[in-house]
Amino acid sequence: MSAILRQYNLVYISAPKCACTSIKELIFKVENNCNFNKIRDEKNAICFMINGERRYIHPFYPTISFNEQPHQLLQQYERFCVVRNPIERLISCHRNRVLRYGALRAEELERLNIDAQPNPDLNQFINDLDRYMKVYQIWHHAQPLINFLGTEAEYYHAIFCLNTLHSLEDYLRVKFKRKVRLPHLQQSKEPLATHDQTISSRSIETLEKTYAEDFSCFGQYF
């Protein structure tokens, strides 16, 4: 469910590929007075050791669909979220999930009986997105924002864009009454030179249609 900070009367509702890892790690630090960055696993992901077991940040504050949120409970809190231009968000999904983590390797597509090009470049990925969405890692990160944040911007007391996270830091600084800084742990280090990352006009048109409701509901914040 959402990250509920009862002490600060605040709720963060997250969406994938919108700085949610960094924000959750900041919230963890505020709640526990320690950083969530003790070690990195074999895939270079940040994890925390508790009683000899690896713990990752997302199970502490799961990202779930908007319809699954406990809205009656959340009504009593001030709610905020972070949004991102859907085209930039989908490019980030491809860069992170496909190029870095290999979510669309040939063996994975074969295992799931998906008839599509393995390890696609960006435009191929967009062209066959419906097929690739059968892979959970793609499905989770490429769903429209409205699936996680709802269709009414008015639901939130504050909405921030990924491109202006300094405004979010200022907002949280006031709420927490302390200096805060978002850990930018998901900054891209993928080998982009190995793939063509030039997005075509056709791909842009496809994404504008795919994420039309995102643009309609939250476009003023991108």
pLDDT at site 214 = 98
- Mean pLDDT (the chain, rounded): 89
Please tell me the distance from the alpha carbon of residue 197 to that of residue 191, in angstroms, as a whole number.
11
DSSP 48-67: EEETTEEE-HHHHS----GG
Residue 119: is it exposed, middle or buried by C-beta count within 10 angstroms (0-12/13-18/19+)? middle
pTM for the structure as a whole: 0.88
Q: What tokens does 201 get?
A: 């006009």
Tokens encoding 40: 């990195």
- Locate tokens 């009414």: which residue? 152
- What does the pLDDT look like over 141-156, one tens digit per residue? 999 999 999 999 999 9
Cα(103)–Cα(109) distance, rounded to whole angstroms?
A: 9
pLDDT in tens, 17-71: 999 999 998 998 898 887 766 677 766 666 777 667 777 788 889 999 999 999 9
Of the listed ranges 36-45, 67-76, 81-90, the least confidently predicted one is: 36-45
Q: Is 21 exposed, middle or buried (0-12, 13-18, 19+ CB in 10 A)?
A: buried
Displacement of CA 100 from its chain's centroid (Å): 15
Residues with Cβ within 8 Å of residue 183, at least 6 apart in sequence: 22, 25, 26, 35, 37
175 token code pair: 């709420």
Contact 41, 47 (CB under 8 A): yes
